[in-house]
Amino acid sequence: MTTVVDDSQVIKLSRDLAKSAALSLAEIVATTIRAGKNIQRDAKEAAPKGGHVRLYAGKITTSTKKTPWSVETEVGPLQSGQGALGEILEFGTARSAPHPHLMPAADKEIPVWLRYVAQALGAGI
């Protein structure tokens, strides 16, 4: 007795899942880059600008690193010139009050980013 199994639907499903994963990752990469730019914009707007730190906001940058399976975006001041004052400005010192601008910008954007990532993952299924 011979049993014949038609696995064409399983093969099609596996191809569809692979294709949707690639589409989802592309959307997640785009969303992550956009979130980084939004955080950068908001941090620059909220950064202290007077007196001795007038150039600081211009040092806040975004860099994105992508691999075939991941994406990461880093937002913060370059560690040169006034950019080196980032932690001092954000968190303050014993003699200087904090001027939060990086963390609030991230706190505002992360829930939005998570919502878009969830949509991208849902659309890929």
In a domain, 24, yes or no: no
The C-alpha angle 3, 9, 14, rounded to 5 degrees, equals: 120
Mean per-residue pLDDT over the chain, rounded:
86
In a domain, 86, yes or no: yes
Tell me the CA distances in angstroms from 119 to 24, 67, 89, 123, one per residue in order.
9, 21, 35, 6
Mean pLDDT on 60-68: 92
- Determine the structural domain holding residue 45 and report its residue range: 30-123
The SS3 assignment for 60 reads strand
In a domain, 70, yes or no: yes
In a domain, 17, yes or no: no
Query: How many domains are contained in the chain?
Result: 1
In a domain, 9, yes or no: no
Strand partners, 63: 74
Q: What is the pLDDT of residue 47?
A: 96
In a domain, 74, yes or no: yes
pTM for this prediction: 0.80
In a domain, 22, yes or no: no
Q: How confident is the model at residue 65 (pLDDT cuts 50, 70, 90)?
A: very high
**CA–CA distance, 26 with 37 (Å, rounded to integer):** 17
In a domain, 63, yes or no: yes
Strand partners, 61: 76
